[in-house]
Amino acid sequence: MNYYYVYILKCSDDSYYIGVTNNPNRRLAEHMDGKNPESYTFSRRPVEIVYSEYFTDPNEAIVWEKKIKGWSRRKKEALINDDYGSLVEFSKRHKTYQRKIK
């Protein structure tokens, strides 16, 4: 069975990079090697994996990646820290804020 991993890297500038791979060790090495000067992580090395979750369906992994890419920094950090209470709270606040704007 193949696994697909959604991962979050913490970069040296404290920013986050989110991606999908079928081999997290290889992908981390690629980020650390910095072979592509155009990539987001090239000038932000070293990087470390701070979160990963695996899926058996690549489409589910891609959906999850896209979803968390749209999250606020504090919501991503709640996920990284397994702080699901805050994750839910930040989601509620965001929805409330959106309703007030519209």
CATH at 45: 3.40.1440.10
Q: What is the DSSP string of 51-95?
A: EEEEESSHHHHHHHHHHHHTS-HHHHHHHHTT-HHHHHHHHHHHH
- Report pLDDT for 84: 85
Distance of CA 58 to the CA centre of its chain: 16
Instruction: For 48-69, write each residue's pLDDT tens digit.
Output: 999 999 999 999 999 999 999 9
Nearest CA to 67 out of 31, 18, 2 is that of 18
Q: Which structural domain range is residue 27 located in?
A: 1-70
Please check whether residues 11 and 55 belong to one and the same domain: yes
Low-confidence spans in the chain with pLDDT less than 50? 96-98, 101-102
Please check whether residues 48 and 76 belong to one and the same domain: no
Please check whether residues 63 and 13 belong to one and the same domain: yes
Please check whether residues 34 and 1 belong to one and the same domain: yes
- Report pLDDT for 91: 76
Please check whether residues 35 and 5 belong to one and the same domain: yes
Q: Report the predicted TM-score, pTM, of the whole model to 2 decimal places.
A: 0.87
Please check whether residues 79 and 95 belong to one and the same domain: yes
Please check whether residues 44 and 82 belong to one and the same domain: no
